[in-house]
Amino acid sequence: MESHGKTETVIRGVAASRGIAHGQAFLYLQSELEIPRYTVEPARRAAEIERFDQALVTTRQQIAKIQLEVSTNLSEAEALIFDAHQMVLEDQALISETIREFENSGLNIETCFNAIAQRYISAFAEIDDEYLRERAADIKDVTRRLLHVLLGQTARQLTELVEKRIIVAHEISPSESAGIDRSAALGIVTDSGSRTSHAVIVARSMKIPSVVGARSLTAVVEDGDWLIVDGYEGLVILHPTEETLARYRIIQTEKSSFESRLMAAIELPPETADGVHVTLRANIEKADEVGLVQQYHADGVGLYRTEFLFLNATTLPTEEEQYADYRAIAEGLAPATVTIRTLDIGGDKPLPSNPELIGPEANPFLGFRAIRLCLEHPEMFKDQLRAILRASAHGKVEVMYPMISGPLELEAVNRLLGEAKADLRARQLAFDEKIRVGTMIEIPSAALAADLLAPHCQFFSIGTNDLIQYLLAIDRGNDRIAHLYDPAHPAVLRVLKQVIDAAHRQRLKVSVCGEMAGDALFAPLLIGLGVDELSMSPPLLPAVKFVIRAMKFSDAEKLATDALAQTDSRKTQEMILAFHHRHMAEG
């Protein structure tokens, strides 16, 4: 028994990269950097700034080298991760604030840079959006690397891993993960992190099983301990017994066979067994994800989040800068449709280029965000609308508004769109005069007034994440009540059905772009309720497509009818789970 008499311990984390690994732990713990603090004499201050400038150059060179290695060993898509790192090092706000801090305090440049960088890290770490929150890891990684250069130290690398082991760490930075030898790493487990961390992106690319958020593991594991990493269920089993090992050998065989079946179906049409086509589209954040959309055979983009452009810029992006980005996506995916959501930013997503634009709020989720911000800054908003309109001349583009609460807001936004069209006509610039307009349904008032919104747009896209959160008054980030977030709640299903029926009565298509859409458990229910399109993160497409092809549309309709009649969400979940297991097995 490989547990050597130690008690088997199961630690639950978050499944990040699918697969099962069994092996010994390689405990990777980074020591905390000790940053000296001292006053720089006035006569040496120019030299101190020069030292900072040289460290920036050296760090850029180091990252460029890592980027080249990743591009060679993995792919250009993974190498693009480090564009964000170079952007941090070229961020004039970060650099100028560091120098200003140095000039005001006279303290050594390491102390000043670290103080400013920590403010940025804290700001991003508090953002509600998981993808954007993980960008704090980019700044943290670059900060650590630059401080090592300033201090004349060499950062520890994961290249020490030379034999097959499971990496166990508190966290792994993007540049550290780039140094992982795929032939030596059996699995990756971290105490912190999320599914969108760059370390996880690299792990998926390498097809290394990974679990993140296994909070206490580094405190209890020792180097060389045996463990199992279950990247399907998000479990880490420390000191597994022979019985557990035997069970996982069977699971691994079954999962490998199932994964092969999923990928074999990815090129087939998303059509139910009784011939009903369901449009499956992708959610993306950046233009460089076009290749991912194509790789997973998505039918275009159902949600392009434009926030990344704004949150990774030292100044507000101009119309031209936005146009170049939107055009690249539209051309890259033509003739497939690309739905571009206008700026959804607010108190929970601070703008580094202009923090005063929003300012602190007691309750940012109910505050000055998204369309409310855009309506108060119409010129900034029209820059984005003109950029989207111009991109529509290069592919099939739709525009979609977030956080609409009622018809008056939608009418006001459409007036601004009309003004943006008039501006482009005056400048004799091409755009699609018949560009389709959609509104997100994510506020309860919009859901209840769906019939009033329908005459002012051509489609609805239901953002289930926020809609459920607002409907049930659940802060998903609050660990004490997160379990109450329930997509199977009777109120949620009734509201979804009401929105879908209101749209169809006025011949509007309905898409879902929230987490429910990419969940193979809930996708059949949404289809049965009448949803026309599902949009999700590209890697989720194979499982959703597989279950669609395995089921009949009539069975999905019956599931939805039975679920709507149910008053106990636990029983609804049991029905959904049974439906899923039955059709996945049959498929």
Average pLDDT, the chain: 85
The residue type found at 309 is L
Mean pLDDT of 388-411: 97
pLDDT at residue 272 greater than cutoff 50: yes
Nearest to 26 by CA among 168, 138, 190: 168
513 catalytic, yes or no?
yes
Q: Which of 39-48, 71-80, 185-194, 343-352 has the lowest mean pLDDT?
A: 71-80
pLDDT at position 1: 40
Query: What whole-number distance in Å separates Cα of residue 71 and Cα of residue 178?
Result: 10
Q: What is the pLDDT of residue 160?
A: 59
* Mean pLDDT confidence for 86-111: 88
* Highest mean pLDDT, choosing among 105-109, 139-143, 208-212, 315-319: 105-109
User: So what's the pLDDT on residue 540?
Assistant: 85
Give the H or E element holding residue 156.
none
> Could you tell me the pLDDT band of residue 288, with boundaries at 50, 70 and 90?
confident
- Measured distance CA(99)–CA(97) in Å, rounded: 5
Answer yes or no: are the C-beta atoms of 10 and 214 closer than 8 Å. Answer: no
* Lowest-confidence pick of 67-81, 102-116, 161-175, 415-429: 67-81
Strand ranges across the sheet with 165-169? 9-12, 235-238, 226-230, 20-28, 165-169, 185-190, 210-212, 14-17
359 pLDDT above the threshold of 80: no
Residue 391, pLDDT above cutoff 50:
yes
- Per the model's pLDDT, the better-predicted residue between 49 and 197 turns out to be 49
* Cα-to-chain-centroid distance, residue 403: 19
Got the DSSP string for 486-552? -TT-HHHHHHHHHHHHHHHHTT-EEEE-SGGGG-TTTHHHHHHHT--EEEE-GGGHHHHHHHHHHS-
Region 286-298: mean pLDDT is 89
Cα–Cα distances in Å, from 439 out to 141, 335, 408?
37, 22, 13
> Which residues have CB under 8 Å from 106's CB, separation 6+?
39, 40, 42, 45
Q: Could you say which of 148, 239, 513, 583 is catalytic? A: 513
Q: What is the pLDDT of residue 398?
A: 98
**Ramachandran bin of 447, using left for φ above 0, alpha for ψ from -120 to 50, beta for the remaining angles:** alpha
Listed residue (69, 21, 24, 3) closest to 163, CA to CA: 24
Q: Please indicate whether residue 437 or residue 285 has the higher confidence score (pLDDT).
A: 437
Give the pLDDT mean for 534-551.
91
Most confident segment among 21-30, 417-426, 511-520: 417-426
Beta bridge partners of 39: 107
Instruction: State whether residue 134 is helix, strand or coil.
Output: coil
Six token digits for residue 523: 């996708």
Q: How far apart are CA 133 and CA 117, in angstroms?
A: 15
Lowest mean pLDDT among 57-71, 125-139, 177-191, 497-511: 125-139
CA atoms lying within 13 Å on the CB side of residue 114: 17
Q: What is the mean pLDDT of residues 121-132?
A: 68
Range scoring the smallest mean pLDDT among 60-64, 203-207, 519-523, 578-582: 203-207
Q: Are 53 and 276 in contact (CB under 8 A)?
A: no
pLDDT beyond 90 at 439: yes
Does the pLDDT value for residue 201 go beyond 70?
Answer: no
Point out the least confidently predicted range of 72-76, 306-310, 329-333, 473-477: 72-76
Catalytic member of 198, 297, 394, 583: 198
The pair of structure tokens assigned to 422 is 């008039």
Domains and CATH numbers, the chain: 9-30+157-242 (3.50.30.10), 42-151 (1.10.274.10), 276-586 (3.20.20.60)
pLDDT at 544 > cutoff 80: yes
Least confident segment among 18-22, 435-439, 560-564: 18-22
Q: What's residue 107's pLDDT?
A: 93
Q: Give the confidence band of 349 by pLDDT, cuts at 50, 70, 90.
A: low
Does residue 273 carry a pLDDT above 50?
yes
pLDDT tens track for 30-57 = 666 788 899 999 999 999 999 999 999 9
- Which of 7-21, 75-89, 145-159, 211-225 has the least mean pLDDT? 75-89
CB 270 within 8 A of CB 548: yes
Is 198 among the catalytic positions?
Answer: yes
Over 90: is that where the pLDDT of 357 sits?
Answer: no
Q: Which of 547, 563, 537, 448 is CA-nearest to residue 495?
A: 448
> Is pLDDT of 505 > 90?
yes
pTM equals: 0.68
- Given a contact cutoff of 8 angstroms between Cβ atoms, the answer to whether 440 and 400 are in contact is yes
Asked if 373 and 358 count as a contact pair (C-beta separation under 8 A), the reply is yes
CB 37 within 8 A of CB 203: no
Structure tokens at 319: 């119309």
User: Could you give the dihedral angle defined by the CA atoms of residues 137, 140, 145 and 150, in that order, rounded to the nearest 10 degrees?
Assistant: 170
**Of 484 and 44, which is predicted with more confidence?**
44
Choice between 574 and 287, residue whose per-residue pLDDT is larger: 574
Residues 274-298 have a mean pLDDT of: 91
**CA–CA–CA angle 203, 204, 207 (5° rounding):** 85
Q: Which of 67-81, 168-182, 267-281, 479-493 has the lowest mean pLDDT?
A: 67-81
- pLDDT confidence of 531, banded at 50, 70, 90? very high
